[in-house]
Structure 1
Amino acid sequence: MSGGLRVTVTGGAGFIGSNLVSWLLREAAVGRITVVDDCSTGSTDLLGGDLAEVDFRCGSVLDADLMGRAVAGADAVVHLAALPSVPRSVKDPLASHHANATGTLQVLEAARRAGGPLVIAASSSSVYGAQPNLPKAEYDRPIPLSPYAVSKLAAEAYLGAYHACYGLPVLPLRFFNVYGPRQRAGHAYAAVVPAWIDAALHGRAVTVHGDGAQTRDLTCVDTVCQVITTAITGKVVSPWPVNLALGTRTSLLDLARVLGDVLGAPLRVEHTGPRPGDVTHSQADPSLLLNLFPDVRPVVLREGLERTVAWHRDRTARERG
């Protein structure tokens, strides 16, 4: 590829990153795409045929030399690399901090040295934590309940500081329970949607931590990719965090019901105790998002779950041969 915007994506072999790469490859305004990923939680398999169309760099965002080379000449950097999962951070808080907070600082330093490309970075709704207000607005005080949430709050604060101190154009985005194709199950820290789909397809019961009344603002990965692509091509800047969700509110029991409808059979639900660090209710105030991205067209829950189930069914069929 030649000409067009040059974009570097960290974590580009992960769930959200690989979907974003596919979106960017279809965007006429985008030229060269560089992907940085150490494949600790992602995999080049998720990129599929897109791998041949990008400049792939295998390594960690904590590697300053690697990041310097990967960001050189970029017009935009999308920083998605992270060590995800609240439970994982509770088990190993230092690893979560190094990957998410220090990793973000390394990306920002690389961008500063490279002349100041737009840096779009993923934060998380988990930063709101025990904040009781619903819906959650960006001006609400964060009350993080887990090391993961703290690391993401530190990351978005670093973006704001680099904008204030160095004039770096930034856009911190708070993701809310992103789901969709390419989000894998089969590990201890799998997110709820892929974990439940995988369990149902293999005849297992799904696990609900607590009573299932807790709610989530579920956001399809295609909505996330649409917003990020628009931010890159439109050079959207905000030193303040922006919720990337549309204000929906789905309980886990309602999610189980809709998933059962999509799968064609009710899910078998088993309840267990609540998990440390989990947030009871999560719902975004989308006002700032819609002000910055008035043309965003969100994918509704059932449609998003249908796409996700189709991907998991295809993957399960291929694994079974």
Structure 2
Amino acid sequence: MYTTPYHTRDLSNISFLITGGAGFIGSNIVEYLLKYGAKKVRVLDNFSTGYKKNIKPFLANPAFELIEGDIRDIEVCRHAVNGIDCVSHQAALGSVPRSINDPVTTNDVNISGFLNILLASKDEGIKYFVYAASSSTYGDHPSLPKVEDKIGNPLSPYAVTKYVNELYASVFSRTYNFHTIGLRYFNVFGPRQNPSGAYAAVIPLFINAAAKKEIVTINGDGQTSRDFTFIENVVQANIKALLIEPKNHEVINIAVGERTTLNQLWKYICNLNNVDIEPNYQQERRGDVKHSLANIQKAESLINYKPQISIKKGLEISVVWYAQQ
């Protein structure tokens, strides 16, 4: 991947910190930065949801550095940002069901941890700080497509934590003149996303099941829809957002701008695996939003974001990648 560069600045004199850099999204950002010659790419990860295998290909690269530590420790965060130019904050506990089962840990990591890295970065004088926000912030607001300034009530503890991140970032911008950019991700998928475990995302679950010719469970009637976004589009957004200097706190949608139902998704994946399997339908999950679709005009305007990979192309790439694991 990443045959097309998404940056115009020379990266050879820029040092980056990627929190959660051993995770799915973080490790893909690391891969891009090392491929295009960043001066330093430092990863901070405690491996609670990230994996050492995700960063194994980078260990021999002299520009790569690993700090094994927890964002809930402010001193670890201060150490991690020392000497860094750009921070991409990806570390978090994802998953709506996980947050419902354990709201306290989700709060500790996603709110206290976020505040620690935000404060450490502000104190260090970091100029470029980008963080992973979430489309879950839109909550029960009914309008489609989702526009950044129209949100509803959060529907899960996870959504609460991601909204609080935005509030803290906004306060830091107004109070300390420390300006950041939040990227509201819409259902990211692609290589390195974990296909197993209690909180696995739907696309790797579906790909894994189709490859094994197994029946999948769909919560609800299958008409739930999402703006599924391939990882390369998200990497593009991070790179572009990291290399512009914001004048205020900004939040932007990162998606493709297309809606796909779970029934359509399962059909696409079955076709790629040459199988035809009827799913098993069960009741809808608590805390799930029924429909999600992004308006990406602000991202296009602010950071020149232009999604390159459609859902169908992204699924083709992903199916091949998982088959090789």
Provide the C-alpha distance between the structure 2 equivalents of 1:262 and 1:269, rounded to a whole number of angstroms: 16
Q: Which runs of 4+ in 1 moved over 6 A?
A: none
Tell me the residue number matched to 1:42.
Answer: 50
1:58 to 1:267, Cα distance in 2 relative to 1, 3 A:
farther
Structure 1 match to 2:33: 24
Deviation at 1:298, TM superposition (A): 2.5
Residue in structure 1 matched with residue 4 of structure 2 by the alignment: none
For 1:87 and 1:95, locate their aligned partners in 2 and report how far apart those are by CA, in whole Å.
13
8 Å contact from structure 2 (residues 187, 228) kept in 1: yes
Which of 133, 150, 157 aligns to 1:147? It is 157
Structure 1 residue 289: deviation in Å?
0.7
**Distance across 1 between alignment mates of 2:245 and 2:275:** 45
Read off the aligned partner of 1:5 and give its amino acid letter: I
Matches within 5 A, 1:233-244: 233-236=243-246, 238-244=248-254
SS at match of 1:33: strand
Q: Which runs of 5+ in 1 are unaligned?
A: 316-321
- CA distance, structure 2, for counterparts of residue 240 and residue 213 of structure 1: 32
- The one-letter code sitting in structure 1 at the alignment partner of 2:42 is T
Deviations 1:218-260 (A, max 9, x none): 0000000011112223345651311111311001101111111
Q: Aligned runs of 1:207-222 on 2, under 5 Å?
A: 207-222=217-232
The secondary structure found in structure 1 opposite 2:183 is strand
How far apart in 1 are the matches of 2:228 and 2:43? 26
Q: Distance in 2 between matches of 1:12 and 1:22?
A: 10
Instruction: Summarize the alignment of residues 139-178 of structure 1 with structure 2, pairs less than 5 Å apart.
Output: 139-178=149-188
How many corresponding residue pairs? 313
Map residues 55-74 of structure 1 onto 2, 5 A cutoff: 55-74=65-84
* Cα deviation code 1:160-190 (max 9, x no counterpart): 1111111112001100000001101110100
- Name 2:3's counterpart in structure 1: none
| Deviation of 1:203 (Å) | 2.6
The match for 1:199 is 209
Q: In the superposition, relative to structure 1, how do residues 255 and 3 fare at CA in structure 2: closer, same or farther (>3 Å)?
A: closer
Q: TM-score, normalised by structure 2?
A: 0.93
Contact 2:256–2:307 (Cα < 8 Å) also in 1: no
Cα distance, 1:292 vs. partner? Answer: 1.5
Task: Give, in whole Å, the separation in 2 of the partners of 1:27 and 1:210.
Answer: 43
Identity %: 37
Q: CA RMSD in A?
A: 1.4
Q: How far 1:129 sits from its partner (Å)? A: 1.2
Alignment of 1:116-155 (within 5 A): 116-155=126-165
Matches of 2:231 and 2:77, distance apart in 1: 25
- Deviates further, 36-45 or 297-306: 297-306
Please tell me whether residue 276 in structure 1 is matched to residue 286 in structure 2: yes
**How far apart, in 1, do the equivalents of 2:258 and 2:97 lie?**
24
Equivalent residue in structure 2 for 1:184, among 181, 191, 194: 194
1:312 Cα offset (Å): 0.8
C-alpha distance in 2, partners of 1:288/1:208? Answer: 33
